[in-house]
Every structure is written in structure tokens, then in C-alpha cells.
Structure 1
């Protein structure tokens, strides 16, 4: 159940209305200051989970930019691990000769194992800080490099105790479409005898021939046939370099997923879901400094600080608010209990395999509360 805070309400009056107490509401919503609520803020009111709820898979990517995973990320991994099937440390870059660029997981493997979450070896075609089609093509055209890559992936999976190999190759272009499919087939054949599954990240397409370099290299139907499951990246309509809008508006998310399940079995499809929002400075102009990324918790703290009322866009199914700072207006689009509930309802409607989150560095406690109320989480 979700309650939207109205002017004059307190946590005490809200708790009394739902026959609970302030301490419980503060705990499940992880409110840093229970005495200060924001008008328009969505509170999750805990309910008894349905014993007949669906079982789904859940995945969360874990990305960091330091030598070791920071304490804040490790805290989220330890807290959310019980609600995750997979945790995917992001990522191993593949060199043109097929070798993997090493990076340290720190204590992620051990923390995941203690929570019953499986890990994956994530490989990407990133070179010099960006996704590279030329790197990918060089790899696709070199069988010896592919063989080396497969050997190193298997060795790393054994070292880390990983159960899945996850491929996130992006911006491939149409010229690499068939080569990428063949590459994935060879990878699948190479890792399957070791008991490893294959998952693949897909850009958010609405048709098989959708134009654009991000889309054209991915054949949904062919990849869906090869992979054990796919992650459809249904987010970033609102992005840091673009105009203000919801990061994952429900209409476009539905359009992409309906296409996906028309060519890939629904029991192979993970919905992608953001755990973050953006703070844009207005007026937006192309070339402006990028919007600031922030978690739902940070967005609520900002709304409290700036005394901003939260609004809800019923079409996008997403919350937002405006505020002023140093003479400039800002708008923040983020996620809350209402927006994630709308995504979970769509996941149920389409009978998808599960949901994949980008990424665990952003605290969003309501997501995990509603997830456990609506679904059983599969453990491998």
C-alpha cells in the first residue's frame, strides 16, 4: 500500500490511519528525519506478502570508480543481497587479443555468497573509456582472440565462483549484426560445458529494424534464441545530457518490452530498471553541463532541504519536483514507491523472467520493500 503525504500530515497521523506506528514507517522507508515529511512524498505502508506471489529473478549491477568497491556500495550489497538472484560487478573490458582487463571485486564475491546471491562475469567492448565498435569487430574477426577470451572467462568464473557470463557490447552498428550473433553462439558453446549460463544486455528497441548505431547490431530474435536470458535496458529516456524527463517513463518501457516478448520468450526477459534520477538546471539547452545523478533517497533529502512539493506525472508514472538555488530553477525526476510499483505491475502483466537494476550504488529502500511484498526472489 502507498500513501502520498498531504499538507499538514505527520508520520504519527499517517501511521494511526493504517493501524501501524511511526517507528515502523520510518524504518521501512528509511526516513532520515521522521519529523520532516515532504508534501507529495510517497510512503510505503507495509503489508503481509501474498503467499501465492510469483517467483522472479532479480539482478543488480555493481559499478564503482575506485580501486576497491567503496563502503557505501558494500553496504547496499549486504543489505539488498537477500532480494537478489544475481549481483554483477561491472565490468571486464575485453582487449583486442581476447584478454580481459583485470579489476578488483574487493569483498563483493564473499558478501554476495553470504546473502545467497550469485555473481556473473560481465564483459564489455569498452576501450579508452567508451564503447568501441572497432574493438568489437576486431574480436569478431579473430577466432584465436575469441578462444583466449573464452578461456580467460572460464578461469575467472571458477576463481570468483560466478554462475553466469554477461555480455554488454554496445554501439556495434548494422555491419556487425551477424558477426555479433555468431560471437555469442561461440561463447555460449564454449561456456555451457562448464555449467555457466549466458546473459546479454540489449538496447531498448521497438522494432527489429530500428535505425541507429546503438540498435542495429542487436538481433533480438537471434540473441534471444542463444542466450539463457536477456536484460533489456529500459531506462535513460531522460539522461544526463538530454532534456528533463522521466528516466524510464512507463509508456516507452511498455512499448519496448512488448516488442521484446513478441520475438523472445517472456521467460527469458529481464526488464531493466534505474535506481537513480537526475537534477537538471533550467532552462535546458543542448550543450548545458550534464544533469546531476542522484538516488531516490538523495532526491527526497533535496526536496526537504528546498521545501519543494513533489508532483507525480500520471502519464510517465514518475515523480518530479522543481526548486530554486542561487537564482536558477532546477527540476528533478526520480523514482518512488508509485513509479516502481507501476513497473512491477507491468513485469507481472507480461510475465517476464525478472528485473535488472542499474545500479546498486543508489539507495532506494522502497523498491526492495515492494519487491519482497509482490514477489518471491529466486536463488540459484
Structure 2
């Protein structure tokens, strides 16, 4: 496939004619909306031939809530090895708490497509936020931990899950070793019934990196405890932070460079964001709150406001600015160029695969490019 950057005066028909492809394929690949206007600087994915070269086999994962649009899920499942259902919580006594919305339909669809449904375990409190008290209890109380493990095994059997993903955040530094032991205990139990256990890791660049996100995550211990790991290499640009790329490739590379010194390469999955942010300017710390947008929505905003899309050569990410109702805005998002950079990183380091947060919004061009670059492991 070819990535084409739109120039002034381009139309879907003129691009189709120049590359010998159909206008319909451009519209479909890139989820263009009638009347099919384009933004200068927009990256389009074109079907210009068949990839006959050797392609690496990789594992792919995507997180989804049970309220995902069924069309989006059906369109995405062919590109996923695993589907992580988000999420299952637990109580201070180790009772498993399923999602408030039925997830059995997702599990059934995943299995039909040869995608493994994964139970995602999170320590959410009553307020729906990560609760490190819950973490402390489950990693330190043997009876509570065993009850939770028993409940996980029962849920795997009941609903047909084919693995567990442990996504704990804000782990206290003093729980660093007990948390790794907890992951190892869950892995032993889940492996015994034939399924793997993964763990999500905050994006560290050193052993003693300060901060509540990092103190409780020991890359070496967790790399040994789990079957595989997900590097959560996103959220440099985030809801309450200043405008910047969500996953700048230079920062992502720093995390990978550290991770491979502590975790076997064949266990590492690269986290990829499937979203962007729209900030209102000027940014004011503690006041400004960016709006989360899909990558296709970002392009539409540029089109609607007749502004060019730019591309940062350090972050290797697209961005643009615009004005609306007298207010300035700055948008950072992902396109096929930034995705290609992340795929290249997976190739360069020989990583196990990729994991997407989240697949709630369909980004067809990404999936087509992924399949053009790699062969995807399926059941």
C-alpha cells in the first residue's frame, strides 16, 4: 500500500486517476464522508498493489468496553489476535465484579472470528477509578488473593475467556514486589487451564523513575512473572496536559530501549493509541481539559475548518490548529504515517506485537496498513 499526502487542488478522483486506483477504494480505506472533501496535508492510504514480500508474524490486541458499536467490533476483529474485554473489578474480599453491561456477545463474536477473548482485571473502586487500596489488599492478603484467583478461573470457564490481562495502575512503591508475586500466582493458575496472562506496564525509562504511575511497576520482575506485557506507550499528550503528541515516537523509543534491557523482547507488545485530543488555547494548567476525539474525527475537523494538517518530524505525529467561535484550538492525533512509524519500531526491535487502546472507534486505514505490514496470529 502507498501513503499519499494531499496537496492543494487534489480531489479523490484526481488522486485515483494518478495512482490507477478506484475512487471507491480511497473512500472506503480512509472512511471519507460525502461530499468527500480533503484537507491539505491529509494522509491517505491507497491500494496500489499486492504485498508479495515476506511479512513477520505478530500478535495484536485491542481493548474494548462492552458498549462498543457492533459494526466497529465486527470490522476490527479480523485484525486482532486477542480482544481484551474492559473490565472486571474486584472487592476487598476478592469477589470478582463483572462489567455493568453484558459482554457475552463480544466474546461470542471474537470466537467466531478466531480472536481470543481476554478478561481484563482492573482495581476499580466504587467511583470507577483505580484504587491502590484494593491493590494493597489483594497482593498482601493470601485468602483474598486466592478467592479472586478462584473467581477468575470460574469466570474463564463460565464465559469462555481465553486469558487474563492485569491492568493495575497507581500501584504503591511498597507493593512493587507483592504485585509481581500476585501476577506470577495468577499466571500459574491460569496457565494450568491452558491460557496466558499479560500485564500492562506504565511507560518507564529507568528502574527508579519517580511518580505514582511508576514506583509499583518493576519491569524485570513483571517481565518474568507474566507470559507477555503491554507497554502503555501513550498519554504524553493527555486530557489535562499541554498540547503535544499522544505517542511521540522519540519518547516511545526511549521506553522500548529501557524495556528490552529488563524484559525478553519476545514478550513485549507495543501500546498504540487509537485516539487524539483537541485542546482549547491558551493552555492553562489545572484548568484546560482536552476533548478526546477519534482519528477520523480529527481529519474532519481540519476539513470543516479549512486548515492544513501538519506533521511533526520529531514526534512523527500529525497536528493542526484552527479557530472556532473565537477560540483557538490545537489538535494532535494519529494517522497512517504515525502508525507506520510505530510498526517500524516493532519491526526494528523484533517485538512480540502491538496492543491498541482502544478499538472503540473504527480506524480502517490503520488496520489495512497493519495487515499490509505483518501477518497476524489467529487461533
TM above 0.5, one fold?
Answer: yes
Counterpart-to-counterpart distance in 1, 2:331 and 2:293: 9
Pair 1:154-2:153 in alignment: yes
SS of aligned partner of 2:64? strand
Runs of 4+ residues over 4 Å off in structure 1: none
DSSP 3-state at the match of 1:87: strand
1:293-308 equivalent positions in 2, closer than 5 A: 293-308=292-307
1:20 and 1:189 mapped to 2: Cα distance?
52
**RMSD, aligned CA:** 1.2
Equivalent in the alignment of 2:23: 22
CA contact (8 A) 2:265 2:351 kept: yes
Contact 2:87 2:98 in 1 (8 A): no
Alpha-carbon separation, structure 1, partners of 2:375 and 2:251: 27
Structure 1 stretch 247-256 or stretch 23-32: which is displaced more? Answer: 23-32
- Give the secondary-structure state (helix, strand or coil) at the position aligned to 2:318: strand
- SS of alignment partner, residue 138 of structure 1: helix
| Correspondence for 1:244 | 243
Match of 2:199 in 1: 200
Alignment of 1:1-380 (within 5 A): 1-33=2-34, 35-46=36-47, 47-63=49-65, 69-70=67-68, 72=69, 74-103=70-99, 104-127=102-125, 128-380=127-379
Aligned length: 374
* Deviation of the 1:78 alpha carbon: 0.3
Contact 1:60–1:358 (Cα < 8 Å) also in 2:
yes
Instruction: Please give the alpha-carbon distance, in whole angstroms, between the structure 2 residues aligned to 1:315 and 1:107.
Output: 42
CA deviation vs aligned residue, 1:157-192 (integer Å, no higher than 9, x gap)? 112211111101111121111111111121122222
In 2, the alpha carbon distance for the partners of 1:141 and 1:42 equals 50
TM-score (normalizing by structure 2): 0.96
Query: Could you tell me how far 1:288 is from its partner in structure 2?
Result: 2.1
Separation in 1 of the partners of 2:244 and 2:87?
28
8 A contact 1:11–1:34 mirrored in 2? no
- Give, in angstroms, the shift of residue 249 of structure 1: 0.2
Distance in 1 of aligned mates of 2:132 and 2:28:
47
Shift of 1:91: 0.6
For residue 51 of structure 2, give the secondary structure of its aligned residue in structure 1. Answer: coil
| Cα distance in 2, alignment partners of residues 313 and 195 from structure 1 | 45
Q: C-alpha deviations, 1:52-95, integer Å up to 9, x for none?
A: 1001000000025xxxx24x2x2111001011001111011121
Say if 1:55 and 1:376, in contact at 8 Å, map to a contact too: yes
Contact 1:26–1:34 (CA<8 Å) still a contact in 2? no
Decide which moves more: 171-180 or 13-22: 13-22
The Cα offsets for residues 198-251 of structure 1, whole Å up to 9 and x where unpaired, read as 100000000111111110111101111121100010000000110000000000
Distance between the aligned counterparts of 1:207 and 1:175, measured in 2? 18
Q: CA deviation at 1:34?
A: 5.6
CA distance in 1, matches of 2:182, 2:114: 31
- 1:53 is paired with a residue whose SS is coil
Measured after TM superposition, the shift of residue 279 of structure 1 is: 0.3
> Which has the higher mean CA deviation after the structures are superposed, 16-25 or 310-319?
16-25
